[in-house]
């Protein structure tokens, strides 16, 4: 075994780690090993690119520097800090988890306890366990699945659980037991910067020698993901109603399936009697499978102070000044429409 190790090239892990130490991005959450901050960053990074996370992470940890400070926050505060980042159940679960952890005596330090926190699945539990606590857990995200599919030149559908399980076992086989956190980050960094989805930069790849897809020339077509559904196109109208320097917003009901508790602009459904004064413009907005085309109209006068909601799902309404907008959970559609109306949300 010693002889074999001497005459063979370095393994996947060694090559990844050597490459990572020279080429990794300087991201803010890589400057700490505080489990709380590692956890915050990993939740924010769920389905969200690193570059998009950076400003949110900086603001969030400035506002909630410790687990205890987050546990003591109101949900509105956490949602306001998350506003614009999307997948808002992440913020709700973050708050629940913080309170559970504080009640249990602090942030958990073993995999099963971390995995048991709301909003923490297999990936996030492995990432936090390895990065913050040095535990030998393979963190298998979309990047890792892509790298494995190419290294193995495996065209199995990564939407299937069987494929994911098999690919995860491959990563576990590669995992560096002594530096699991760096290994996991190195593999993801490779996927994020070299092993790109459409046009992989194989010439710059540290593990090209061991990559069957690079040899076969099939890398750009991997991984295979079968499912795709037709999007729904929807048109809607939003009203910007101003009164004494304030704008009218509607609060999505707490039990709503989407955007519960968030403030949005009124629609024709909310204000059936509204008379559009001026067309301010239009914008497109995608929510999961829905593709909206919003038309934005200014409307003024002739409205009750706080019109009774007409739809069963509608919640409260209120008037807000521009300065108050950063302190509430504001829907991104409202932010876009208010920009058209010349009422930027000062962030």
Partner DNA sequence: AACCCGGGGAA
Partner DNA sequence: TTCCCAGGGTT
Query: Catalytic site residues?
Result: 42
- Angle between helix 12-23 and helix 161-174 axes, rounded to 10 deg: 80
Which residues, 6 or more positions from 7, have their beta carbon under 8 angstroms from its beta carbon? none
Give the separation between CA 344 and CA 347, rounded to whole angstroms: 9
Among 35, 180, 181, 191, binds DNA (CB under 7 A): 191
Contact 148, 154 (CB under 8 A): yes
Among 26, 286, 304, 346, binds DNA (CB under 7 A): 286
For residue 89, state whether it binds DNA (rule: CB under 7 A).
yes
For residue 27, state whether it binds DNA (rule: CB under 7 A).
yes
Residue with Cβ nearer DNA (48 or 153): 48
Q: Which helix (H) or strand (E) holds 104?
A: none
Residue with Cβ nearer DNA (250 or 307): 250
For residue 95, state whether it binds DNA (rule: CB under 7 A).
no
For residue 23, state whether it binds DNA (rule: CB under 7 A).
no
What does the block give as tokens for 203? 């010439």
Please, what is the minimum distance in Å from the beta carbon of residue 74 to DNA?
A: 19
Contact 222, 213 (CB under 8 A): yes
Residue with Cβ nearer DNA (170 or 307): 170
Contact 338, 270 (CB under 8 A): no
Contact 146, 191 (CB under 8 A): yes
Give the separation between CA 329 and CA 246, rounded to whole angstroms: 17
Phi and psi at residue 290, to the nearest 5°: -90, 135
Residue with Cβ nearer DNA (18 or 293): 293
Footprint of DNA on residues 96-125 (CB under 7 A)? 118-125
Residue with Cβ nearer DNA (113 or 196): 196
Among 3, 105, 112, 199, binds DNA (CB under 7 A): 199
Residue 10: name the closest of 210, 150, 190, 159 by CA: 210
Footprint of DNA on residues 125-144 (CB under 7 A)? 125, 127, 141-143
Please, what is the minimum distance in Å from the beta carbon of residue 263 to DNA?
A: 11
Give the separation between CA 40 and CA 29, rounded to whole angstroms: 9
Which part of the chain contacts DNA (CB under 7 A), choosing from 10-18, 209-217, 225-233, 309-317?
Answer: 225-233
Residue with Cβ nearer DNA (88 or 297): 88
Footprint of DNA on residues 291-330 (CB under 7 A)? none
Query: Contacts with DNA: how many residues (CB under 7 A)?
Result: 62
For residue 192, state whether it binds DNA (rule: CB under 7 A).
yes
Give the separation between CA 134 and CA 229, rounded to whole angstroms: 40
Q: Which helix (H) or strand (E) holds 238?
A: strand 232-243
What does the block give as tokens for 132? 């913050």
For residue 46, state whether it binds DNA (rule: CB under 7 A).
yes
Give the separation between CA 77 and CA 328, rounded to whole angstroms: 7
Please, what is the minimum distance in Å from the beta carbon of residue 93 to DNA?
A: 6
Binding site for DNA (CB under 7 A): 27, 30, 41-42, 45-52, 84-89, 93, 118-125, 127, 141-143, 146, 159-162, 185, 188-189, 191-192, 196-199, 225, 227-228, 231, 257-259, 284-290, 331-333
């Amino acid at each position: 075994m010693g002889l074999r190790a001497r005459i063979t090239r370095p393994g996947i892990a060694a090559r990844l780690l050597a490459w990572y130490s020279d080429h990794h991005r300087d991201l803010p959450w890589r400057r700490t090993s505080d489990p709380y901050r590692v956890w915050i960053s990993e939740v924010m990074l769920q389905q969200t690119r690193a570059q998009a996370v950076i400003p949110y992470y900086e603001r969030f940890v400035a506002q909630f520097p410790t687990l205890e400070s987050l546990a003591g926050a109101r949900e509105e505060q956490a949602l306001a800090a998350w506003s614009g980042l999307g997948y808002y159940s992440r913020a709700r679960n973050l708050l629940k988890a913080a309170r559970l952890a504080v009640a249990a005596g602090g942030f958990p330090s073993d995999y099963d306890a971390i995995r048991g926190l709301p909003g923490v699945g297999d990936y996030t539990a492995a990432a936090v366990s390895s990065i913050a606590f040095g535990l030998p857990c393979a963190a298998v995200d979309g990047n890792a699945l892509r790298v494995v599919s190419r290294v193995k030149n495996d065209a199995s559908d990564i939407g299937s659980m069987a494929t994911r399980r098999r690919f995860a076992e491959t990563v576990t086989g590669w995992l560096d037991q002594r530096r699991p956190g760096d290994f996991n980050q190195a593999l993801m960094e490779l996927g994020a910067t070299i092993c790109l989805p459409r046009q992989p930069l194989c010439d710059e790849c540290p593990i090209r020698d061991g990559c069957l897809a690079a040899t076969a020339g099939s890398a750009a077509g991997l991984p295979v993901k079968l499912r795709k559904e037709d999007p729904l196109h929807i048109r809607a109208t939003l009203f910007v109603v101003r009164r004494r320097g304030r704008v009218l917003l509607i609060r999505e009901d707490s039990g709503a399936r989407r955007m519960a508790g968030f403030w949005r602009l009124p629609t024709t459904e909310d204000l059936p009697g509204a008379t559009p004064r001026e067309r301010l413009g239009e914008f497109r907005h995608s929510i999961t499978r829905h593709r909206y085309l919003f038309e934005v109209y200014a409307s003024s006068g002739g409205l009750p102070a706080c019109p009774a909601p007409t739809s069963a799902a509608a919640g409260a309404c209120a008037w807000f000044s521009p300065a108050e907008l950063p302190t509430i959970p504001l829907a991104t559609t409202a932010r876009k429409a208010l920009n058209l109306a010349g009422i930027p949300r000062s962030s």
